[in-house]
A and B are shown apart, each in its own frame.
Chain A
Amino acid sequence: MLSLNKVSKVFDAGTVNEKYAVKNLSAAFAKGDFVTIIGSNGAGKSSILNLIAGVYFPEEGTITLDGADITRTPEYRRADRISRVFQDPMVGTASDMWLEENLALAYRRGKRRGLRWGITETEREFFIEKLKPLGLGLEKRLSVKTGLLSGGQRQALTLLMASFNNPSLLLLDEHTAALDPGTAGKVLELTEQIVAENELTTLMVTHNMKDAIAYGNRLIMLSAGNILLDISGEEKQHLTVTDLMQRFADLSGEELDNDELLLTS
């Protein structure tokens, strides 16, 4: 469904700062997969998500989604099938637009935008129905500017926006990292709920090993721009944090830095 074929991304090529953020990486993901991605700082997690989303293009390799080559499709044109939630809660919404306007923008993702009014009454009702289950009371605040919402509220809203229009793929890049532990837990629960409800194929980057083990059906550990570990199915279900650290040490010959990958939530 999504496949990366020998993909490489180099930054500052040809200079002393040349850096392979992703190096010759190949991977295939099946429809309905919920993949958690871990790795230390600079391992290339965000770079991979950005390549898939089209923020920038790879120097080498190809990316296909639903059978179509999207390697060089502009970001805004793949947004109809790929939706995202970012680490920084500020990035997911237009902060000086109303909550309902943000939802209406997301509702038109992948559709032609013309001279019709930006939001309709039926949509407003639909949004209210969708906001209620979040349990944040946002359904009563349709005309609040999203800049005034808390980080957790904004991430919940961005998640809801990302679920509109049946995307083929949901990309989450440490979307709970900027939240306090309690809120992070709620947003994660909500993530699982929205993913299940809409049967979304999901790639979720996290710094939290426990979350990486607890969520999803497949776990990928990245190191130096490539896949170090790829665990799924039965094996993933029985995985523990200690196993994971041991296997990292065996493979890479170094200890995993406890500070970099959070062990507790």
Chain B
Amino acid sequence: MGFSLGSFLRSCPGAIAQGIIYGIMAMGVIVSYRILNYSDLTVDSSLCTGGAVTATLITAGVSPVVSLMCALAAGLVAGTVTGLLHTALKIPAILSGILTQLALYSINLRIMGKPNVTLLNTELLISLRNIPRAILIGGIFALSVIAVMYLFFGTEIGCSIRATGSNEKMARAQGINTSFNKVLALSVSNGITALAGGLIAQYQGYCDINMGRGTIVIALASIIIGEAIFSRVIETSKVSFAVRLFSAVFGAGVYYLVITAVLQAGLNTSDLKLFSAAVVAVVLSLPHLKTVKKGKVRNDAKPE
């Protein structure tokens, strides 16, 4: 079956809704990946933790909004654990994230009590049963996250977190407790990710233990696509950080539109992760490939 424009267009609203919700997750990853300069793999599981908490609570009769707040709290705790593994126990960054990620797999199963919780016949805040409403609610959440994050990272403590990520030596010399800040930032990052997880579970009407696998890849794709599109505005804007956050949501939207298109064009769903990984690998290597082309090959060039 070939690509049909008609059915692609019909799938667009759904892709946009998904893009917005995953965009919220991508904004969480911006905190670790862009602000802290820390590749945090906890998110692959904390997204599911958010979904698991939300789905389980809703099944138990808790309101969808309260269950989302609980998801956020669970993510804050997950990020704190990664942060403490790294700062207090001196475990390398990547490994700290992997350890929490692995531990969360078991915890997520414990929360749900089974590998899969479905949300049938319940009142939900956001659902694919009503896509226009999902886009509206998702948009409100995304804008609120942008606003809160923009304000937070402009405060004294927010600035000190940015300094910690930008130049740790300088931060310490300016009296900043860099260990505390790393824990705080990872906590915030996973809190936002888990919130997105809660929204995703409601949107798709279920939470599955494998939900969230590859989250980091989707996040990076969204961030990088967004930055590529908005690079000039991010450079020059007075509210550069807000633009950067918005660009990640936009990037996630583009990502899901592309995914929808390639699925329509006949890509097998089970090959999707291979496709995503390949796309992100290409996008991440672009800056390097460009310099190779210009003849300025630097073997010591570090990946961003």
Contact = CB atoms under 8 A, between A and B. Distances in A.
Given A95-B167, A105-B171, A105-B176, 20 more contacts: A74-B177, A79-B174, A79-B176, A84-B173, A90-B167, A91-B170, A92-B170, A94-B167, A96-B166, A101-B159, A108-B156, A111-B175, A113-B159, A114-B155, A114-B156, A117-B154, A118-B154, A118-B158, A119-B159, A143-B238
Nearest to B167: A94
Contacts of A109: 174-175
Interface in B140-155: 154-155
A100 to B, nearest CB: 11
B173 A118 contact: no
B86 interface: no
Contact of B159 (A76, A95, A104, A143): A104
B160 A97 contact: no
- Residue of A75, A90, A105, A119 ringed by the most chain B CB atoms within 10 A: A105
A105 B178 CA distance: 13
A76 B155 contact: no
A91 B157 contact: no
A79 B156 contact: no
Interface in B200-233: none
Q: How large is the interface on B (under 10, 10 to 19, 20 to 34, 35 or more residues)?
A: 20 to 34
B157 A97 contact: no
A53 interface: yes
A93 interface: yes
Contacts, number: 83
B176 to A, nearest CB: 6
Interface of A: 53, 74-77, 79-80, 83-84, 86, 90-97, 101, 104-106, 108-111, 113-119, 143, 161
A79 B167 contact: no
A131 B172 CA distance: 23
A202 B160 CA distance: 26
Nearest to B159: A118
A110 B160 CA distance: 12
A113 B162 contact: no
B163 interface: yes
B169 interface: yes
Given A114-B157, A116-B155, A80 B167 contact: no
Nearest to A161: B174
Given A113-B160, A115-B156, A117-B154, A75 B166 contact: no
Contacts of A83: 173
Contacts of A143: 238
A215 to B, nearest CB: 22
B108 to A, nearest CB: 32
B223 to A, nearest CB: 16
A51 to B, nearest CB: 15
B231 to A, nearest CB: 14
A115 B174 contact: no
